């Protein structure tokens, strides 16, 4: 049925009943009482309508669906429709608030910066990453022009040119940022910032590594090629010179092999897909074999001792062999003949500790912090003479990182060095602990 009929028919019927009542009174008691009754009934009806109008007016001040009054007559329908609309509004508002909270949280967690600006670049809103990248503070800078806040000639040029389809790489406040402006709506723009400092640094490290590795490989290759040219150019070489050349070539070949092996070890250790084995490491067996290798390398030039007074640990035997033997072979290579080397394994309050103490050439304090960098050598010629690749301590660092162990170095020039590897108490192998009754 037509909704207006639904409204008017009951209203008309109410009026008709009222007038009929007044007519009945008029019929029995005379015209005047009938008219008075009709007027009184109309006044009551008007009073009821005004009262509901007043309640509606009061409710509109605080339109809460819970507080909506019940109506009478046509008001029942008005209030129930108001109630439905209000409930729908409240539901929409709750959903909107939830979405807004989620959006805010996502924007807070986003590693990239987002700045919302109007068409003339006045800051309206930004997330914490943008605050960090661009040195902004939303509360303080809101309403200011972004070009006055991000003071960079490159950024100004980018805005002047307006080629926003391309991102801009920007050096800003010691960071490498990739920024891009995206126009949206008719009068708003978004500035997106991405911090590329780390990836830039990794790229630089990769480039350095390739440059260093090529340089390291070029030297022995040049030597080998030189001797080969001599051998080719001078058909007959006396056996002594030939033997000396072959010996030098073999040495350089060995050097290249060591280098390639160390580079492969490093790249394997760095690879995220390369899982670390956690096995029972029999420390005594391992250190005794490292001692034998050290004695062979020293060829009787040093007094090398081994003291073992600690438990077995959990870890990768192969990786630890590589780390420990690098430290021990360094001690042999950087200790002049006649010196002594002490290899130790003991239990400290913080956990098991491996140490190598030598009476060698020592290291200046300013060089100590850089020793674990790839290809870093204090004395290049000595390292090469002793077949060093410059990657030994970088390998040690990675192995220890994978075993949650730390390396400490104590050294002074001509007073020897101590390299100590501290493992955590948690690395002790349960199977190796003595039984307590």
Binding residues vs ligand ADP (CB under 6 A): 326, 330-331, 334, 358, 360-363, 371, 376-379, 383, 388-394, 417
d(CA 172, CA 82): 56
**Shortest Cβ 369–ligand ADP spacing (Å):** 11
When the beta carbons of 200 and 373 are compared against ligand ADP, the nearer one is 373
When the beta carbons of 129 and 259 are compared against ligand ADP, the nearer one is 259
**Shortest Cβ 173–ligand ADP spacing (Å):** 34
**Shortest Cβ 322–ligand ADP spacing (Å):** 11
**Shortest Cβ 395–ligand ADP spacing (Å):** 8
When the beta carbons of 133 and 377 are compared against ligand ADP, the nearer one is 377
**Shortest Cβ 112–ligand ADP spacing (Å):** 38
When the beta carbons of 112 and 379 are compared against ligand ADP, the nearer one is 379
CA distances from residue 115 to 131, 160, 197, 386 in whole angstroms, order as listed: 9, 18, 20, 57
**Shortest Cβ 400–ligand ADP spacing (Å):** 13
- For residue 190, give every residue at least 6 positions away whose Cβ sits within 8 Å of its Cβ, in sequence order, or none: 114, 115, 116, 117, 181, 182, 183, 184
Contact 428, 364 (CB under 8 A): no
When the beta carbons of 286 and 371 are compared against ligand ADP, the nearer one is 371
Q: Which of 98, 107, 105, 102 is nearest to 190 (CA)?
A: 107
Of the CA atoms within 13 Å of residue 43, those in its CB half-sphere come to: 6
When the beta carbons of 82 and 297 are compared against ligand ADP, the nearer one is 297
**Shortest Cβ 389–ligand ADP spacing (Å):** 5
CA distances from residue 269 to 275, 286, 395, 398 in whole angstroms, order as listed: 9, 20, 8, 6
Contact 161, 83 (CB under 8 A): no
**Shortest Cβ 135–ligand ADP spacing (Å):** 39
Would the CA dihedral through 324, 329, 330, 336 be positive or negative?
A: positive
When the beta carbons of 74 and 217 are compared against ligand ADP, the nearer one is 217
- For residue 285, give every residue at least 6 positions away whose Cβ sits within 8 Å of its Cβ, in sequence order, or none: none
When the beta carbons of 130 and 396 are compared against ligand ADP, the nearer one is 396
Would the CA dihedral through 377, 379, 381, 382 be positive or negative?
A: negative
3 state SS of 181: strand
**What are the residues facing 168 on neighbouring strands?**
179
d(CA 387, CA 333): 9
């Amino acid at each position: 049925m037509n909704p207006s009929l639904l409204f008017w028919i009951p209203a008309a019927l109410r009026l008709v009943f009222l007038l009929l009542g007044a007519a009945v009174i008029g019929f029995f008691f005379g015209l005047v009482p009938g008219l008075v009754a009709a007027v009184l009934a109309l006044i009551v009806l008007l009073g009821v309508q005004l009262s509901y109008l007043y309640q509606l007016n009061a409710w509109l001040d605080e339109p809460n669906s819970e507080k909506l009054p019940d109506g009478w007559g046509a008001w029942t329908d008005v209030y129930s429709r108001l109630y439905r609309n209000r409930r729908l509004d409240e539901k929409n508002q709750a959903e909107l608030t939830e979405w807004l909270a989620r959006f805010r949280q996502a924007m807070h967690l986003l590693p990239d910066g987002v700045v919302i600006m109007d068409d003339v670049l006045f800051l309206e809103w930004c997330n914490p990453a943008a605050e960090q990248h661009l040195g902004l503070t939303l509360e303080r800078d809101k309403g200011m022009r972004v070009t006055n806040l991000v003071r960079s000639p490159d950024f100004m040029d980018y805005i002047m040119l307006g080629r926003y389809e391309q991102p801009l790489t920007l050096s800003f406040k010691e960071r490498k940022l990739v920024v891009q402006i995206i126009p949206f709506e008719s009068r708003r723009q978004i500035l997106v910032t991405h911090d590329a400092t780390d990836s830039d640094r990794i790229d630089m490290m990769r480039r350095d590594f390739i440059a260093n590795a090529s340089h390291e490989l070029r030297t022995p290759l040049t030597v080998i090629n030189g001797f080969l040219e001599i051998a080719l150019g001078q058909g007959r070489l006396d056996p002594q010179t030939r033997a000396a050349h072959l010996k030098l070539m073999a040495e350089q070949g060995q050097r290249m092999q060591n280098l390639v092996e160390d580079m492969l070890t490093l790249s394997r250790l760095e690879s995220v897909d390369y899982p670390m084995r956690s096995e029972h490491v029999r420390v005594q067996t391992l250190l005794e074999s490292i001692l034998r290798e050290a004695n062979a390398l020293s060829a009787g030039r040093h007094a090398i001792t081994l003291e073992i007074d600690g438990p077995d640990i959990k870890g990768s035997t192969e990786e630890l062999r590589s780390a420990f033997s690098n430290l021990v072979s360094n001690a042999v290579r950087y200790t002049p003949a006649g010196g002594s080397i002490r290899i130790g394994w003991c239990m400290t309050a913080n956990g098991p500790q491996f140490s190598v103490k030598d009476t060698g050439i020592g290291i200046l304090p300013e060089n100590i912090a850089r020793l674990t960098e790839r290809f870093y050598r204090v004395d290049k010629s000595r390292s090469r003479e002793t077949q060093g690749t410059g990657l030994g301590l970088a390998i040690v660092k990675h192995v220890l990182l994978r075993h949650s162990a730390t390396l400490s170095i104590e050294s002074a020039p001509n007073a020897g060095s101590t390299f100590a590897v501290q493992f955590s108490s948690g690395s002790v192998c349960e199977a190796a602990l003595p039984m307590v009754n």
